[in-house]
Amino acid sequence: MTVSSDVGSMDARWAVRGWWAKLRERWRELCAGPLAFLNYKWAAIGFWIVIAWIIVSFLAPVLSPYPPNATLGKLTEAPSAAHWLGTDQMGRDVLSRLLFGSQPILLLAPLSVLCATLVGITLGLVSGYLGGTIDDILMRLLDATMAFPTLLLYMIIISALGPSRINVVMAITIGGFPGVARLVRSLVLDVRNREYVHAARLRGESSLHIMFREILPNCLGPVIIDACLRVGYAAFAIGTLGFLGLGLPPPNPDWGRSVAEGRIWMITAPWIAIAPALAISSLVVGLNLFADGVNAASRRA
């Protein structure tokens, strides 16, 4: 009985070792391929910062000690065992609002960049491939849009439509797609005269087929890198809009608005503003480090 149990435990240990070896081998393959940016120290740090915030946003209902909008205890209470980051000027738990505030910024920033990238790709493909009058009209419209300072454009759009999640995404999309369109157009101008494009024309393929099946796949690399960089800018823009009162409508947790409300209490209750400010800073820094790593890995490849 003892011998059989020892054999069983040895088999289990060898199975665990084999599983661990396969996992390490698979991880090395990923780091040599799609996750090559993890070979850069700062990029890996940024990646894990972003992953940590994503996990926090998903687990916010579990990790949060109190409902984010619940009024609890003493106003502007200092950090304690009951309230790890203290309470704000309305008696709400700062930690709970910080955890729930990660959800909108981590959702809206990638979503707005995705929308801007899709619109920019479409306009850039049409402008660069068709050229002529269509190219001139689209470029002049894009130039007119880019003439506005980006933050001012966001403020005009949200002030006209009102603060909401959809309007924040719309504002960042409108402010971002002209830059994506100009990037895609420049790539298309370089690609459209290559042999495989001429071969597609000789086969009688439609313009849509050539643009989206022949040209676009060969332009996606720089576009993806540009999109990674834009996510960090979008997260910072969302925080700025919240600070200006143009983010999510109250009482929804919003890091930017929390900083704006807490700056009045910087002398007596600095934790109200410092906690969300550090959260915004860490997320934006993580996104930028991650994007720089992707850029460096793509250049090396």
pLDDT digits (tens, 9 = 90+) for 5-38: 554 555 556 555 666 566 666 656 555 555 666 7
Q: What are residue 93's DSSP bridge partners? A: 87
pLDDT, averaged across the chain = 84
Q: pLDDT (tens digit, 0 to 9) for every residue of the chain, 301 residues total?
A: 454 555 455 555 655 566 656 666 665 655 555 566 677 777 888 889 999 999 999 999 999 999 988 888 788 888 888 888 988 888 899 999 999 999 999 999 999 999 999 999 999 999 998 888 888 999 898 888 888 888 888 999 998 888 888 999 999 999 999 999 999 999 998 888 888 888 888 888 888 888 888 888 888 888 988 898 899 899 999 999 999 888 888 888 899 999 998 888 888 889 999 999 999 999 999 998 888 877 777 666 5
CB 31 within 8 A of CB 39: yes
CATH 3.40.50.510, domain 40-300, yes or no: no
- SS3 category, 13: helix
Cα 44 from Cα 27, distance rounded (Å): 14
What are all long-range contacts of 146-154, with beta carbons under 8 Å and residues at least 24 apart?
A: 146/178, 146/179, 150/175, 150/237, 151/237, 151/240, 154/237, 154/241, 154/246
Summarize pLDDT for 168-206 with one digit per residue, the tens. 999 999 999 999 999 999 999 888 888 888 888 888 888
Residue 184 vs residues 119, 289, 297: alpha-carbon distances, Å: 11, 24, 21
> Which residue, chain included where needed, has tokens 């933050």?
151
pTM for the model stands at 0.85
Closest to 299 in 3D by CA, of 43, 29, 30? 43
DSSP secondary structure string for all residues of 135-185: HHHHHHHHHHHHTS-HHHHHHHHHHHH-S-HHHHHHHHHHHHHHHHHHHHH
**Structural contact between residues 127 and 138, judged by C-beta atoms closer than 8 angstroms:** yes
Residue with tokens 């966001």: 154
Domain ranges of the chain: 1-32, 40-300
Nearest to 38 by CA among 224, 233, 29: 29
User: For 93, phi and psi rounded to 5 degrees?
Assistant: -70, 120
